[in-house]
Structures are given as structure tokens and as C-alpha cells.
Amino acid sequence: MIETTVSRFEFEQLGKTCSLVVGAGAVDGLSWLLADPEPPTQILVVHDSHVPAEFIARIQNHCRPHASHMAVESSEQAKTLQTVDAIWHWMAGARFDRHSAIIAVGGGIVSDVAGFAAATYNRGVRFAVIPTTLLSMVDAAIGGKTGINLRLPDGSLAKNLVGSVWVPEAIVADVTALHSLPDRHLRSGLAECIKHALVADHTFAEWIITNRAAILGRDPEILSELVQRSAHVKLNVVVEDPLEHGPRMALNMGHTFAHAIESRHSDRYTHGEAVGIGLVAATAAAVESGLAQPSMLARVRGWLKDVGLPGSLEGANPDVAALTAAMSTDKKRKGGALRLILPREAGGAEFVHGPSLKVVAAGWHAVA
């Protein structure tokens, strides 16, 4: 019998508490989680259309009162106001009041859309997430960022341009959901775990490498420890700075490079793969800035290789000038200058505002 662990995070700035439940069979604890302090008046489960019907039925079995469900398409194109509008109208049609709840089941796209509907319907209703990918269990679904993409007049998609921070009251990470997750997506989630190791504790990356066979073999005990450790890194940062005024920016390590990669090569790399390559670039930029030794760059490359993630843009025919230009549209720019989040040799992150061209180039040349 695998133990299910429960941790509580107090968001003092927001006056909210978030329970993190991790383990095989964690969804079976849903009813008591929602009953604290009292059950919601109505529940809508908003789920990825690919989540198996049996998993949704199991969740519904644990919902008091009975929950209805609604499938949404999990694509960046469907992460729009139309989808949120459909959820709002569904809730209004069923006369959901402000003590009702939305439970998001799926990856980061579903929790973003469903979370935004929860944050805005009736000025905010209760919200819980049941992430079904590793990436969403350790990162995308758990930090309270919710939102949608906006189609701009030139036809491009501005990702996450509209949104809000709506912290879930419960995060239920049932690792049995990872059994059917394709290996490529499991590995992609590992890139965010490695990012968390760089942000908080390099020995966590060594632990991942030691246990990689068990992780890829979907050993429930090891997966539970992986999710538990990684989600704790994120939540411990987010609880102190939910609105990203400062320390939370550390969680964007490698992402300025990664977003540029995604803007040019989204057909070739998943988000997690781009983040892995972005972490190599960020480490190379850290070496150039004197924050890390060259041996750290070799170590980070080694971690990615050992879990089967790409550590460079090899084969993608990268255009470094275009990638550098793509960085300038990144959300983390402040006052017109680029901001890089770089790893330090001894652990933790350094925020570099307005990095020199030499530092940026060192990052790109390490992966191009």
C-alpha cells in the first residue's frame, strides 16, 4: 500500500490555504478535501477530452454533491475566451452560486482555462485541480496562474496574455494517472523537475538520475516522491510570492531561452524539451557571467542526457539571430530590457537585468 501524503500551504497574502495530496489513489480522498470547511453547493469537473471516462467517473464518485462534467479541447488554439464562455454559460445555466466549485482534470491548458473560469465566475468560486501529466503535477497546474491566449490582429497567438492568479484549494496528484502518459511527455515533465533542482537543491537532480529507470517504469512510490519533492519546491516559492513580484521569478529559469525556442520550433520540441534546452543555455550564460563553473554546464547537460531529453537544438537548423530577436518579446522583460534567470553554482537563481550580448550569445552557442 502506497502512502498518500498531504501537505498544506498557507497563502497569507491571498488569505487562502492549499492542500497538496500526492500518491497512488490520491483521488479517493477528494470528498473529504472538498468537505473542508464544508462541501461546495455544486461541482463542475472540467476535463481534457482525452482523459479516460473511467477516471472521470471515479472522480465523480468521490464528489459530494454529485458533479457534472464538461470536456474541453486541450490545445493552445482552444485556450480562448470562447472556451471560458462555454464554462461560464454552463454554470449559469445550472444556477451555480458563489459557493460552487470547479475541478480541473488534465494538463496545464485545462487548469489554465478552468482556473480562469473559476477565478471570474461570480467573482470567484472554489477551485481544485487533478493534474494528469507530470508537467502539470509539478508545475503548470499548481501555482495558481490561470488564463487564456489572445488572437492578435496580425493572426499571432499571444499566450497567457489575459489571466489571473487563482490558487487551487486542493491539488490532487494521483500518480496512477501517469501510467498511460507517453514516455516523451513524462520526460518533458522531468525538465521542470530538473529546473526545480537548480532552483532549490542540486542533489534532487542526482536523485532523479539515480531513480530514472524506476521513474520511467512508473514505479508509484518513486513517482510519488518525485512529484512530492518537485511540487514542494514550487509551492514553497509561490506561497511567499504568489503574484510574482520577486522570488517567484526564479521559477522562470531557462524559460526566456525556452520561449524563444518554442516560438520558432514548436513543431519539433515540447514545452518541457524546450525548457531542458533553455536550462543548458541559461547555465552557459551563467558560466559566461561568472556565476557558475564550466563543470556545471557539463553536469546539467549530463542530467538531461541521462533522462533522455535533448540538451541542444541539434538537427533543428537553428538561426541564432532569429532566436535572439525572439527573446525580446518575452514576458519577463522589464522597462524594455531583457531579464535572464540564471542558475548559480552553489544553487539558487540570479536575476540578470539587461544581460550583455556576450552573455546571451554564450547561452545560444552552447545549444545551437
Q: Do residues 309 and 272 lie in contact, with contact meaning Cβ atoms separated by under 8 Å? A: yes
Nearer to ligand GLY, 248 or 259 (CB): 248
Residue 184 backbone class (left: φ over 0; alpha: ψ -120 to 50; beta: rest): alpha
Could you say whether residue 248 binds ligand GLY (CB under 6 A)?
yes
Task: Give the nearer residue to ligand GLY in terms of CB position, either 143 or 278.
Answer: 143
Across-strand partners of 343? Answer: 349
What contacts 43, CB < 8 A, 6 or more positions away?
34, 63, 65, 66, 67, 68, 100, 101, 102, 103
Residue placing its CB nearer to ligand GLY in the complex, 117 or 141: 141
Phi, psi torsion values for 46, nearest 5 degrees: -105, 120
Neighbours of 156 (CB within 10 A): 12
For ligand GLY, which is the closer residue by CB, 42 or 136?
Answer: 136
DSSP E strands in 166-236: the ranges are: 170-174
Contact (Cβ atoms closer than 8 angstroms) between residue 280 and residue 367: yes
Region from 6-14, 95-103, 137-145, 261-269 binding ligand GLY, contact rule CB under 6 A = 137-145
Q: Tell me how far, at minimum, the Cβ of 54 lies from ligand GLY, in Å.
A: 30
CA distance 132 to 141: 10
Binding to ligand GLY by CB under 6 A, coded x per residue (else -) over 202-241, reads ----------------------------------------
What gap in Å lies between CA 302 and CA 308, rounded to an integer? 10
Segment contacting ligand GLY (CB under 6 A): 15-23, 105-113, 244-252, 319-327? 244-252
Pick from 132, 146, 176, 252 the residue near ligand GLY by CB under 6 A: 252
Task: List, as one string, the DSSP characters of 101-137.
Answer: EEEEEESHHHHHHHHHHHHHGGG--EEEEEE-SHHII
Give the one residue of 48, 112, 139, 169 binding ligand GLY; rule: CB under 6 A.
Answer: 139
Region near ligand GLY per CB under 6 A, out of 15-23, 155-163, 246-254, 334-342: 246-254
Beta carbon of residue 236, minimum distance to ligand GLY (angstroms, whole number): 12
Mark residues 260-289: x for contact with ligand GLY by CB under 6 A, - for none.
------------------------------
Comparing C-alpha atoms, which of 327, 195, 189, 196 is closest to residue 261? 327
Distance CA 246, CA 57 (A): 41
Rounded least distance, CB 70 to ligand GLY, Å: 25
Single residue of 67, 105, 171, 251 touching ligand GLY by CB under 6 A: 251
| Total residues at interface with ligand GLY (CB under 6 A) | 6
Does 143 engage in binding with ligand GLY (CB under 6 A)? yes
**Residue ranges in contact with ligand GLY by CB under 6 A:** 139, 143, 145, 248, 251-252
